[in-house]
Amino acid sequence: MAGERVHRLRVSGTVAETHDARSIVFEVPVGEAERLTYRPGQFLTLRVPSERTGSVARCYSLSSAPHRGGELKVTVKRVEDGYASNWLCDNVTEGMELDVLEPAGVFTPKSLDSDLLMFAGGSGITPVMSIVLSVLERGTGTVSLVYANRDERSVIFAEELAELAAAYPDRLTVVHWLESVQGLPTAAGLRALARPWTGREAFICGPGAFKEVTAQALRDLDVPSNRIHIERFVSLSRNPFEESATGDTAGEAGAGSGTKSDAAPAALEVELDGERNTFAWPRSKKLLDFLLENGVDAPYSCREGACSACACRVTSGEVKMLNNDVLEPVDLDEGIVLACQSLPVTDSVSVSYE
């Protein structure tokens, strides 16, 4: 399995949030709290048992807030014909143990003191709730949330959101959009709701169609692309729990990568967990593969550019990514790259996981 990055956590309880959504709460073992720290908006990758394949891996956003401490909570909504979501909702009980990878993801605000405009559709409220709680209880920012659902009984965290709005009337505005009343969200309708708050950083999470129409509404209002953050999950084609740390994805980049394998290695400096290391980085070796082979405990999950668990920041030099399904232009502008897909371009490169 994926070595030290895998943690077996005990389920301390479950919560039926709606008729088709359930939260799973995990205990954090003594001595593992540091490795399981997270930022609001990040996710966990869970190992879900399967009689057919041994297991499947799925990413679920954390709905808990880091400052509340002690436990990790993910919220899972049933997906029609979705094996993992239905298994988790039907089978997980208090006392059960599940394997998870360490928290990861880039759908997180830079500062809890910033004013935010947030859009959530259905279970897309999960990382949004983590951010809302963190801003209100540990920051000074204000939050305006537009939350779309099929109908009233589908609203996850309805009671908690109402309580937060009452407790922070000057800092939290919640606007509900119900398909049963208003129809499907439209660009025109979302533009009208967003117009008073277009100067804020915007965060969007939900089904694909919802994310597309919301992003279009914000672009129509001339919100700069670098202020629009969209959470993206792509189905993992490989299972990080069933592969070794140097499995079949750890080979050299194939033909067409645009990198000369016989060129001199790049000088690489890596900052991780407060330590700096330097290496000679072969031009045709992906950054993550190279670090793992050299004993660096770099984070990762899917190893195919689909989850952002291996994201790091290039602080000097330049790399080329072979695939990117999750990072937004704003992430790329800030130097964030996926280590599992990165090859060196310049003669020296510095990256940081801090």
Examine residue 53 and state whether it is found in any structural domain, yes or no.
Answer: yes
93 plus 126 within the same structural domain: no
The model's pLDDT over 81-101, given as tens digits with 9 standing for 90+, comes to 889 999 999 999 999 999 999
Residue range(s) defining the domain that contains residue 266: 248-352
Q: Which residue has the tokens 């994926």?
A: 2
pLDDT tens, position by position, 111-126: 999 999 999 999 999 9
| 264 shares a domain with 215 | no
Residues near 173 by Cβ (< 8 Å), separated by ≥ 6? 142, 143, 144, 145, 165
Residue 279's pLDDT is 97
- Same domain flag for 134 and 196: yes
Residue 96 and residue 59 share a domain: yes
pLDDT in tens, 289-317: 999 999 998 888 778 888 888 999 999 99
Whether residues 127 and 35 fall in one domain? no
**Is 235 inside a domain boundary?**
no
* CATH code of the domain containing 212: 3.40.50.80
| pLDDT value of residue 256 | 44
Helix (H), strand (E) counts: the chain: 8, 18
pLDDT of residue 132: 98
Kindly report the backbone phi and psi dihedral angles of residue 291, in degrees, each rounded to the nearest multiple of 5, phi listed first.
-65, -45
Residue 108 lies in a domain: no
Is residue 144 situated within a structural domain? yes
Q: What is the pTM of this model?
A: 0.83
- Residue 196: band (very low, low, confident or very high) from pLDDT cuts 50, 70, 90: very high
Let me know: does 61 contact 127? Beta carbons within 8 Å.
yes
Domain with 54 in it: what CATH number?
2.40.30.10
What pLDDT is attached to residue 243? 63
Our count of domains for the chain comes to 3
